[in-house]
Amino acid sequence: MRQAFSQTLAELAQTDPRILLLTADLGYLALEPFADAHPQRFFNMGVAEQNMVGVATGLAEAGFIPFTYSIVTFSVLRPYEFIRNGPIGQHLPVRIVSVGGGVEYGHNGISHFGLEDIAVMRAQPGITLVCPCDADQARTAIRATWDMPHPIYLRLSKDDKTRVPGLDGRFEFDRAQKIHEGDDALMIALGTGAVEAARAAELLAARGIGCTVLAVSTLNPAPTGDLLAHLARFRFVMTVETHYTTGGLGSLVSEMVAENSIACRVIRCGIKESPGAMTGSQAWLHRVNGLDAESLAVTATAALSEKSAR
Amino acid sequence: MTPRELRKIILEQSKRAHVGHIGSALSVTDIIASLYGGGLNIPGVTDRERDRFILSKGHASLALYAALHLRGFLSSAQLNSFCGDATLLGVHPEHALPGVDFCSGSLGQGLSVAAGAALGAQLQNSPRRVFALLSDAECNEGSVWEAVMFSAHRRLSNLIAIIDLNGQQALGYTRDVLDLSDMAGRWTAFGWHAQEVDGHDTAALCEAYERCKTVPGKPHVIIARTVFGKGVSFMENLIKWHYWPMSDDEYTQALAEVEATPTTP
């Protein structure tokens, strides 16, 4: 999605001089499409994320639309208070762009994992979270949201190749996209969580279990109408996200179920505990956290048999 | 506007609202007077080409509110809502209040925002300038030095930082808490053009603002030597006036002292 982001932004910048791209010294082999096309509007801010967000705040007040770029933790957690008091507090169109949600940085370890960014950003009223599921949807989402008047958090993946089957790049603001249909189980996936959720649905289909998968790409506002309509139809729902199970999509869906008295059990799939010092590839980390397709399918099957056992 | 008028409003409002931070507001009163008395070019508070100002030490807001009032940007009714309910005039400035360009209150954020505003002006080929008023203790924050590095690297000569060098912070004297001497030397080492002035001499401050225009290619810092609580004898250099509101007797004496000062400076 990094390439998709950089290319799409470069194209948009051809027609709108307000677009600027700021990076905290990251984006090698990713940001070149923008930097080469618009060198006067590309700023390497150095390894100084707090200053990057502060500068973006001042630029936005002057009429620009600055995009700030770094890895999730450096992009969100380090300058969090700057984001809160600046773009959010003053309703300015700054775009906080982060790459590597979840455990995508694998062997780089927990310092590089984005495990709580959704929770802390979702806690801030006034900023929209945009979490594309794949590169095609990232292009559509950026084109649909780049000039909105309020701040946006854009959570990107490093992966420009993987496509979510059934999504076809579709994005509608505050709508969920149905990427698989079935009557036995419901999965709601956030952003790149949709990749394994879609694969799990295919595994389940091969085993005779029908699964509906909704891909969620915006929070604040969440696609409330779409989610409520589906939650009412199923006995249980699995939320799938590359994030801690606290504070993100799983928490959101639990709140919706509780507040609307829906009889639907919520099974939160995500990173349940701190990965700690032990690290590995993204695939391994997904597997040990039950976030790979096979684990998700097993979870769904177990939940179905629990239901029928009652 | 005169510093005396500003100080009277600061005393009146802090007494009426029964709030502290009086010493901090009195420390920057002459700086604020020099800015809103002519240092800042503000044809109107919504004029896109106005100079921008951020009171990065937001807890001195009462000095800013007083200046906005004397410039006619803030009505008496608004001023009298300071620290009331459903007011935009809290202890720290909110951008939603016309005349306040940026929110502040969390120390260490204002200079980055000002640097962005200055960069924005340069990108738009605008002659507008950006002023940021920081406290000396605020320079404890590492983020200040991120902004200092960035501004020098980008040669933001339309950016002017003013340091309210009163030597005090919330729990003690700056030299005891986290020593920042030599303040000017620290900024020049980072590539800034530095001037040191008497922070209670409005004419000297205005001269310093003008002198910045003659030094190209560098951001500017004005180290303004100030006295915490300036103008009220029993407040000067005393930590407790970071926090304490005034008693009736203290208010009477403070007001009398301020009224007895000459009109200029």
Query: Chain A interface, mutation test: which of B111, B112, B148, most A Cβ atoms within 10 Å?
Result: B112
Q: Which one of B51, B111, B113 would you mutate to disrupt binding with A, by most A Cβ within 10 Å of its Cβ?
A: B113
CB–CB contact B113 A58 (8 Å) = yes
Each residue of A1-59: pLDDT tens digit?
A: 999 999 999 999 999 999 999 999 999 999 999 999 999 999 999 999 999 999 999 99
Contact list, A63 vs chain B (CB under 8 Å): 48, 120, 124
What's chain A's average pLDDT?
97
Name the least confident of A202-211, A235-244, B64-73, B236-245.
Answer: B236-245
pTM of the model: 0.97
Interface test with B, best of A20, A42, A55 (most B CBs within 10 A): A55
Distance from CA of B234 to the nearest CA of A (A): 35
Give contacts of A 59-78 with B, CB under 8 A: 59-64, 66
The minimum CA-CA distance between B149 and chain A, rounded to whole Å, is: 10
Instruction: Say yes or no: B49 contacts chain A, CB-CB below 8 A.
Output: no
CB B10 within 8 A of CB B76: no
Distance of CA A184 to the CA centre of its chain: 26
- Chain A residue whose CA is closest to B142: A50
Look at residue A130 and tell me whether its pLDDT is greater than 70. yes
Q: What is the ipTM of this complex?
A: 0.96
Q: Which residues, numbered 150 to 169 in chain B, qualify as contacts with chain A under a Cβ-Cβ cut-off of 8 Å?
A: 150, 153
Q: Which chain B residues are closer than 8 Å to A45 by Cβ?
A: 150
Please give the residue that has the higher pLDDT: either B211 or A276: B211
pLDDT value, residue A308: 60
Show the 3-state SS of chain B. CCHHHHHHHHHHHHHHHCCCCHHHHHHHHHHHHHHHHHHCCCCCCCCCCCCEEEECCHHHHHHHHHHHHHCCCCCHHHHCCCCCCCCCCCCCCCCCCCCCCCCCCCCCCHHHHHHHHHHHHHHCCCCCCEEEEEECHHHHCHHHHHHHHHHHHCCCCCEEEEEEECCEECCEEHHHHCCCCCHHHHHHHCCCEEEEEECCCHHHHHHHHHHHCCCCCCCEEEEEECCCCCCCCCCCCCHHHHCCCCCHHHHHHHHHHHHHCCCCC
The confidence score (pLDDT) of residue A143 equals 98
User: Would you state the torsion angle of the CA atoms of residues B64, B70, B71, B75, taken in this order, to the nearest 10 degrees?
Assistant: 90
pLDDT in tens, B42-59: 999 999 999 999 999 999
Query: CB of B97 within 8 A of CB of B46?
Result: no
Residues B156-210 pLDDT 10s? 999 999 999 999 999 999 999 999 999 999 999 999 999 999 999 999 999 999 9
Percent of chain A with pLDDT over 70: 99
Question: Closest chain B residue to A81 measured between Cα atoms?
Answer: B106
Say whether residue A39 is in contact with chain B using an 8 A CB cutoff. no
A67: which chain B residues are within 8 Å (Cβ-Cβ)?
Answer: none
Chain B contact for A9 (CB, 8 A cutoff): no
Report CB contact under 8 Å: A86, B113.
Answer: yes
Task: Name residues whose C-beta falls within 8 Å of residue A278's C-beta, 6 or more positions apart in sequence.
Answer: none
Residue of B52, B56, B119, B149 for testing the chain A interface, max A β-carbons within 10 Å: B119
Residue A310 pLDDT? 45
A64 and B123 within 8 Å at the Cβ level: the answer is: yes
For residue A304, is pLDDT > 60?
yes
Segments in chain B below pLDDT 70: 263-265
